[in-house]
Structure 1
Amino acid sequence: MGDEKVYILLTDTGTIFTRMIKFYTKKPYNHASISFDSKLDEVYSFGRKNVNNPFIGGFVIENIKESIFKEATCAVFCCPITGLQKRKMGQFIQKIKQNEHLYHYNFLGLFAVILNKQLRRENAFFCSQFVASVLKESDTINFSKPLSLITPHDLQESPGFQLVYKGKLRNYLSESDQETCGIHTSKEAISM
């Protein structure tokens, strides 16, 4: 498809808030982020702005080396994309970053997902809705259901994405010198 790549990081941090989400979804991962490099040096999402307060949220550039992620379990997926798709993704993310004060975390949207009801809110995303929006805006994936109902599990089922790693995030970060999809260096790495 292309010589560029996009990465989706799905995590379970084990916080009270994420345990509540996991109780409902019954899925292993409850948070989604997106990155353009295999080392996950810069990871974008919608989540908590303050590690100690899950109710203050919005657009975040996540520091996945922070304590909240240290013991997280994760799955990293990779998809080849074109240069044009990467530029569109970058422009979409940059627009939100430049106007982040206008964007909010979509708490109401989480309840809508539970009820399986589409809820459109301007300038509000939850994590997987944001990642799905980035992918859709760049014409990388056209989802079969509304973006406001996309869950982290839906993202991992997206066509074109290949599992690169599954296990403890700290192990991935300590061994993340792989540069392409499908190169596994960890004992915990899973191949498809």
Structure 2
Amino acid sequence: MQLYLVLTATSSLLSKTIKLYTKASYNHASIALTPNLDDLSSFGRKEMHNPFIGGFVTEDISHEFFLNARCTIYSCELSFEEYHQIKEQLDYFHQNKEQLRYNLLGLIALAVKIDYQRNHAFFCSEFIATILTDSGVYQFSKKPHMVTPQDLQNLKIFTHIYTGTISNYLLQIQKVKKPLIYEYA
């Protein structure tokens, strides 16, 4: 059982602004439990064209916004128990998404290195750090709301599996999943 960490860099104005500040190649983090990323979850924009309305989302990677995005993808081997812990947490987030908010204030506080935590509000890497911590997969040396996408990228529990565009990754996954056809004489 695998957990997939997807770090992306889109061409949006917000993404470019964050990149200017952080100097990081990737500034958004998401997780999935399937290799085709059809369950890619994070905290981000709820509406593709409005970066200021955010919360818990299942990201639509078939949308042009994501298909052309540069990404790097990592995987982590999970035990049966860890997988189910993460699945339960994701189910909780799905069931309560209307009560959860995007933590823009926390993101700003993180940028200026202020320890500020909000209840029921997350930014992308804070969400993933919370999931990893609460499931017992990884214990951070800092609080989840102080974790950046770059911190996640550097975790030794993850193995790098791909760098490129999401559309090319999906093409590669489709090629791997094609069944072998044997002809018998």
> Is 1:152 aligned with 2:159?
no
**Counterpart-to-counterpart distance in 2, 1:134 and 1:119:** 19
Q: Which residue of 2 aligns with 1:109?
A: 106
User: How big is the shift at 1:77?
Assistant: 0.2
Report the TM-score when normalising by structure 1.
0.89
The reply to whether residue 81 of structure 1 matches residue 59 of structure 2 is no
Give the gaps of 5 or more residues in structure 2. 178-185
State the match for 1:173 in structure 2. Answer: 170
2: CA distance between counterparts of 1:123 and 1:146? 15
- C-alpha separation in 1, matches of 2:154 and 2:57: 24
1:20 paired residue number: 17
* Matching residue of 1:187: none
Normalized per residue, the structure richer in helix is 2
How far off its partner does 1:70 sit?
Answer: 2.1
Alignment-derived partner of residue 66 in structure 2: 69
TM-score, structure 2 as length reference: 0.92
Q: Which amino acid aligns with 2:166?
A: L
Residue in structure 2 matching 1:143, options 140, 143, 156? 140
Stretches of 4+ moved more than 3 A in 1? Answer: none
| 2:168 counterpart letter in structure 1 | N
Q: How large is the Cα RMSD of the aligned pairs?
A: 1.1
Q: Secondary structure at the match of 2:173?
A: coil
How far apart, CA to CA, are the structure 1 residues paired with 2:146 and 2:19? 16
1:42-75 deviation digits (Å, cap 9, x = unpaired): 1000000000100000000011111211210000
Structure 1: any 5+ residue segments left out of the alignment? 180-192
The share of aligned pairs that are identical, in percent, is 39
Give the Cα–Cα distance (whole angstroms) in 2 for the partners of residues 94 and 37 of structure 1: 15
Which residue of 2 is the match for residue 59 of structure 1?
Answer: 56
The AA in structure 2 aligned to 1:64 is I
Matches within 5 A, 1:23-62: 23-62=20-59
Residue 122 of structure 2 is aligned with which of 107, 120, 125?
Answer: 125
